[in-house]
Amino acid sequence: METWHIVVKGRVQGVGYRVACAGQAGALGINGWVRNRHDGSVEVMAYGPPDRLEAFCNWMRRGPPDAQVNALVALPGAGEFEDFDCLPTA
């Protein structure tokens, strides 16, 4: 199991990205959290098997239908999580 810290940039706020992200995480068995950031990006901390984290990142590069992802950066993260939560903007 690994933890990845992911930042997604583009048109990713106001398009249902966080809710869709949480749904996709649940479908893949990924735990962690997602939140909007004040700079307009979306931040994710994802915990799970590496192959599922890669599949999660592949989905996040597309996002929900109204999103337009311009960049995704995934780096090693910290922590273990039991659920996947939508957190308040930070």
Which is catalytic among the residues 11, 31, 35, 36?
Answer: 36
Active site residue 36: yes
Mode of pairing for the β-strands spanning 68-76 and 2-11 = antiparallel
Burial of 58 (0-12, 13-18, 19+ CB in 10 A): exposed
Chain position carrying tokens 């249902």: 16
Clarify whether 18 is annotated catalytic. yes
Instruction: Select which of 11, 18, 35, 62 is catalytic.
Output: 18
Number of Cβ within 10 Å of residue 64's Cβ equals: 16
Active site residues: 18, 36
